[in-house]
């Protein structure tokens, strides 16, 4: 037997092995997400795990923390610079442009459930490989699309048992009369108030003044309370767009809080920005976030193609929500077989049950009754189907309800009816 030293490999820091029973919950939640996105017309998409590094440098922006500090970038044997995707939006827009999906009806509506990679400092709810479920609606700048996207994420989180709080903001578009004008103003204000900012934040605001709102340093947080906020400085057309988004959210009774300091960490965002936050997650309380990215297509060399979407952190959803029905292993019946003949009968029974869509498993250990019942228990099955010598000769099995402990004999031919859902 290998001693501990010989099998002491561990997964890389910040990654998780998804093992049962947790992996059942993970799978059920992913499915539920994709089903609920499909209900709103979002078709599944899967892009490669890695992209040319430029897709993220140009798409997400070199000024963002994600691109500047967190990417897993490597050179392949052909000398190409590739990057494990840190997020899904730039790859989805890249794929859409590459395959000309924008030449069909717009908006193109796509959904994904994929692993993402960021070299962040691991902590509760923050990993280096994590999973996102998300949607993107690309090709329309109408405010009702914003409301639709936001509602789809909100409803899924509610259905999944997370009670999210929705934070909403408008960060304007990249134009001198809108965000750029505001950024100049904010930069000036930060210069005037630099003395009261934390030292680290003083060096940073020249490149991206908005990021100062994200600082966790107490001195900066205090100062930023009186900083000019973008919501009050966006142009007329952005303001009208934001009003219309809010009106549509009101129409479908999605509650939200306006958070004028919500700026989001990726550089492609324009106009509507939002986040879903949940209690009980500690510092990493954002279960998801998203917004408009009306300039992303052009950053990637495409035509003007406005878009909006979100991504939800699956790892955080599972941390935030209680276990619920439908998460469990789908095995309904576990056959306990005592003896070689009984095992052959058991195999025929589980095969019959599976062929009509009833989840079934059987013992393969050859242990005694007690050991096999433990297996039945561990499988999560609702019923144990017990076959011993007596049962075999009578052509019957004993069916035990694992919850109530009740047992009754059932002829082989009627097992399916007795253990069916």
Binds ligand HAM (CB under 6 A): choice among 59, 61, 88, 153: 88
Interatomic CA distance for residues 72 and 80, integer angstroms: 14
* Using rule CB under 6 A, residue 51 touches ligand HAM: no
Site string for ligand HAM, 136-155 (x = CB under 6 A): x-------------------
Give the nearer residue to ligand HAM in terms of CB position, either 295 or 359: 295
Cβ of residue 267: shortest distance to ligand HAM, in angstroms?
A: 11
**CB 400 within 8 Å of CB 407:** yes
Helix segments in 125-213, DSSP class H: 143-159, 179-192, 199-204
For residue 135, what are the β-bridge partners?
111, 310
Cβ of residue 29: shortest distance to ligand HAM, in angstroms?
A: 13
For residue 317, what are the β-bridge partners?
none
Cβ of residue 197: shortest distance to ligand HAM, in angstroms?
A: 24
Interatomic CA distance for residues 405 and 384, integer angstroms: 10
Binds ligand HAM (CB under 6 A): choice among 25, 58, 109, 118: 118
Task: Tell me how far the alpha carbon of residue 280 is from its chain's centroid.
Answer: 17
Which residues touch 203 (CB under 8 Å, ≥6 apart)?
none
* Using rule CB under 6 A, residue 359 touches ligand HAM: no
3-class SS at 82? strand
Binds ligand HAM (CB under 6 A): choice among 67, 145, 150, 286: 286
Give the nearer residue to ligand HAM in terms of CB position, either 256 or 310: 310
Cβ of residue 273: shortest distance to ligand HAM, in angstroms?
A: 9
Q: What angle do CA 85, 87, 91 make, to 5 degrees?
A: 70
Stretch binding ligand HAM (CB under 6 A), from 25-33, 121-129, 221-229, 401-409: 121-129
Which residues touch 323 (CB under 8 Å, ≥6 apart)?
25
* Using rule CB under 6 A, residue 288 touches ligand HAM: yes
Cβ of residue 222: shortest distance to ligand HAM, in angstroms?
A: 25
Interatomic CA distance for residues 268 and 322, integer angstroms: 34
3-class SS at 145? helix
Binding-site size for ligand HAM (CB under 6 A) equals: 27
Cβ of residue 66: shortest distance to ligand HAM, in angstroms?
A: 7
Give the nearer residue to ligand HAM in terms of CB position, either 146 or 363: 146
Binds ligand HAM (CB under 6 A): choice among 24, 37, 56, 127: 127
Helix segments in 338-414, DSSP class H: 340-355, 369-379, 389-394
Binds ligand HAM (CB under 6 A): choice among 29, 36, 83, 89: 89
Stretch binding ligand HAM (CB under 6 A), from 34-42, 118-126, 172-180, 244-252: 118-126
Which whole-number Å values give the CA distances from 314 to 92, 101, 115, 265, 288, in the listed order?
A: 19, 28, 10, 19, 9
Interatomic CA distance for residues 314 and 25, integer angstroms: 11
Q: What sign for the dihedral angle of Cα 87, 90, 93, 98?
A: negative
Stretch binding ligand HAM (CB under 6 A), from 40-48, 158-166, 287-295, 404-412: 287-295
3-class SS at 73? strand
Peptide bond into 269 cis (omega under 30): no
Give the nearer residue to ligand HAM in terms of CB position, either 290 or 359: 290
Site string for ligand HAM, 307-326 (x = CB under 6 A): --xxx-x-xx----------
* Using rule CB under 6 A, residue 179 touches ligand HAM: no
Q: Could you list the residues that contact ligand HAM (CB under 6 A)?
A: 87-89, 118, 120, 125-127, 130, 132, 134, 136, 265-266, 286-291, 293, 309-311, 313, 315-316
């Amino acid at each position: 037997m290998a001693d501990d030293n010989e099998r002491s490999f561990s997964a890389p820091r910040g990654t998780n092995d998804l093992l049962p029973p947790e992996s059942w919950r993970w799978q059920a939640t992913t499915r539920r997400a994709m089903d609920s996105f499909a209900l709103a017309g979002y078709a599944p998409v899967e892009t490669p795990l890695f992209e040319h590094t430029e897709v993220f440098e140009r798409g997400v922006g070199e000024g963002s923390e994600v691109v500047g500090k967190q990417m897993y970038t490597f050179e392949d044997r052909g000398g190409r610079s590739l990057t494990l995707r840190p997020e899904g939006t730039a790859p989805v827009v890249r794929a859409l442009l590459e395959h000309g999906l924008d030449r069909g009806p717009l908006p193109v509506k796509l959904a994904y459930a994929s692993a993402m990679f960021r070299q962040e400092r691991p902590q509760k709810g923050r990993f280096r490989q994590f999973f996102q479920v998300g949607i993107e609606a690309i090709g329309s700048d109408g405010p009702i699309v914003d409301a639709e996207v936001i509602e789809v994420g909100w409803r899924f989180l509610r259905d999944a048992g997370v009670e999210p709080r929705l934070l909403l903001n408008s960060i304007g578009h990249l134009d001198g009369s809108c965000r750029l004008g505001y950024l100049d103003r904010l930069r000036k204000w930060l210069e005037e108030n630099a003395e009261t900012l934390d030292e680290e934040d003083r060096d940073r605001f020249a490149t991206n003044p908005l990021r100062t709102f994200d600082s966790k340093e107490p001195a900066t947080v205090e100062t930023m309370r009186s900083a000019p906020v973008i919501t009050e400085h966006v142009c007329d057309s952005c303001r009208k767009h934001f009003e219309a988004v809010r009106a549509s959210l009101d129409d479908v009774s999605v509650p939200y809080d306006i958070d004028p300091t919500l700026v989001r960490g990726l550089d492609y965002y324009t106009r509507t920005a939002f986040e879903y936050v949940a209690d009980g997650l500690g510092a990493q309380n954002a279960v998801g976030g998203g917004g408009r990215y009306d300039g992303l297509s052009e950053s990637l060399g495409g035509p003007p193609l406005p878009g909006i979407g979100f991504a939800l952190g699956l790892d955080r959803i599972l941390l935030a929500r209680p276990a619920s029905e439908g998460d469990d292993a789908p095995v309904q019946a576990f056959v306990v077989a005592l003896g070689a003949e009984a095992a052959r009968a058991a195999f025929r029974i589980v095969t019959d049950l599976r062929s009509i869509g009833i989840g079934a498993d059987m013992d393969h250990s050859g242990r005694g009754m007690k050991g096999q019942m433990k297996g039945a228990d561990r499988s999560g099955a609702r019923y144990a189907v017990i076959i011993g010598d007596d049962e075999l000769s009578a052509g019957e099995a004993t069916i035990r309800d694992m919850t109530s402990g009740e047992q009754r004999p059932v002829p082989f031919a009627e097992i399916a009816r007795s253990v069916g859902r």
